[in-house]
Amino acid sequence: MKVVKEAVAGALEHSDLLVKIAPSDKGTLDIVIKSTVIKLFGKQIKNVVTDTLDKLSVSSGSIVVEDKGALDFVIRARVQAAVLRACECQELDWGKLSGVASTPARAVPPSPGPKTMKLRRSMLFVPGANGGMLSNSFVYKPDSVMFDLEDAVAPSEKDSARLLVYQVLQLPAYHDIETVVRVNGIETEFWQKDLEAAIRGRADIVRLPKTEYAQQVHELEAHVARIETACGRPLGETKLMAAIESASGVVNAVAIASASPRMTAIAIAGFDYLVDMHTTRSDGWEPELFYARAAVLHAARVPHIDAFDVVYGNVKDDEGFLREVDIAKGLGFNGKSLIHPHQIELLHKAYAPTDKQLDHAKRVLAAAEKAHRKGLGVVSLDGKMVDPPVIDEAEMILQMAAAA
């Protein structure tokens, strides 16, 4: 690749770096590293930069890297973004962009059920352009982490954020956490490139914003299948999630939730929905959201998928957050979308079973096990018949307690 103009990528922020690249009249590759930790990590930083440039076949140019403690994947992504901008490259060779020699396929998770329930109490939003947050969000242990390429990323940084997310998805630290990528909407010019990064990076779920019709899910599904085939992922491995953000989305929620066997969850986005409805958030039991919450939740239960409640934006208001958690939990939502790690522990504790619920669940399962050993077709406890749904609920309570 030939550097044809000056370009910059990255940010001088903690755990990030700024990369400047320019053409060279000398025909040589000149690399300058500036870092507060250059004595300890200068050699490693230069090795990552050199390796990245080599994979992109850049043999000439002037590169200045100002490091603020970035991890290798951030260095790689920022250098890639700067090179692609400097070379005015539109088509990407994903093999050359990979940060590892190979990325093994994850095992396809079993279909959710009482004994294999995937807990999705918390889905933490992480801005896709923020190298520092991408570097450490896994330590907060959300049930799912969602790398955002949509609202959290300025249009001028979409390309760089896409590369960052592609790189972070390959980190072993995130392989034990469910990963979600929120792509840009189908109406934008960005969404198909976002899909390439998400699926080739092996995200577990793609979240589609502003979903209003089932046809949008069908279109998304077709492109996901195409990319899976192109990059060698098992067909059907990538799951889908739809965000309901408008009156049209709420009205069509059942069709959206049932549009594809890949659908694993739907979520309601409160701010956009309320703007569409010409109203605002209130305190208390929030009547302005009640219909939408009920509609989205019922839509999720038709195909037996999960449902996420709205984001609570005031991260300093724990009382208000927990009040809203009580509403979501009482209605039956699996969990909430979150914008701050502080909210994770609060949410998980609120969703944890009480001692009374846990004791009863243990007694139900003990009775079921006893009946099974005796070959009985009917389970009874305290003189009452225990139906299969009660046993399923008891198993879920034990899983919730163990996770909490």
Give the residue from 126, 144, 145, 149 showing the smallest Cα distance to 15: 126
Residues forming a β-bridge with 10: 18
Mean pLDDT for the stretch of residues 209-219: 98
**Residue 291: is its pLDDT beyond 70?**
yes
**Residue 228: is its pLDDT beyond 90?**
yes
Predicted confidence at residue 113, as pLDDT, reads: 40
**Residue 102: is its pLDDT beyond 70?**
no
Predicted confidence at residue 358, as pLDDT, reads: 86
Mean pLDDT for the stretch of residues 118-129: 94
Domain boundaries, the chain: 7-91, 122-351, 355-403
List the beta strands (DSSP E) in 49-160. Answer: 61-67, 122-127, 144-148
Predicted confidence at residue 249, as pLDDT, reads: 98
Residues forming a β-bridge with 306: 265
**Residue 385: is its pLDDT beyond 90?**
no
**Residue 47: is its pLDDT beyond 50?**
yes
Predicted confidence at residue 117, as pLDDT, reads: 56
Give the residue from 169, 209, 171, 203 showing the smallest Cα distance to 190: 209
Average confidence score pLDDT of the chain: 91
Give the residue from 139, 270, 262, 141 showing the smallest Cα distance to 207: 262
Least-confidence region, from 16-30, 145-159, 246-260, 357-371: 357-371
Predicted confidence at residue 396, as pLDDT, reads: 81
Enumerate residues 6+ apart whose C-beta is below 8 A from 187.
210
Mean pLDDT for the stretch of residues 125-153: 96
Mean pLDDT for the stretch of residues 118-131: 95
- For the record, the structure tokens of 210 come out as 């502003």
**Residue 112: is its pLDDT beyond 60?**
no
**Residue 61: is its pLDDT beyond 80?**
yes
Please state which CATH class domain 7-91 belongs to: alpha beta
**Residue 309: is its pLDDT beyond 70?**
yes
| Chain segment 310-368, per-residue pLDDT in tens | 999 999 999 999 999 999 999 999 999 999 999 999 999 999 988 788 888 889 888 88
**Residue 387: is its pLDDT beyond 70?**
yes
**Residue 397: is its pLDDT beyond 70?**
yes
Predicted confidence at residue 266, as pLDDT, reads: 98
pTM of structure: 0.89
pLDDT band for position 161 (50/70/90)? very high
The C-alpha atoms of residue 76 and residue 351 are separated, in whole angstroms, by 39
Predicted confidence at residue 114, as pLDDT, reads: 37
Give the residue from 145, 135, 228, 220 showing the smallest Cα distance to 184: 220
Distance of CA 271 to the CA centre of its chain: 19
CATH architecture, domain 122-351: Alpha-Beta Barrel (3.20)
pLDDT band for position 105 (50/70/90)? very low
**Residue 69: is its pLDDT beyond 50?**
yes
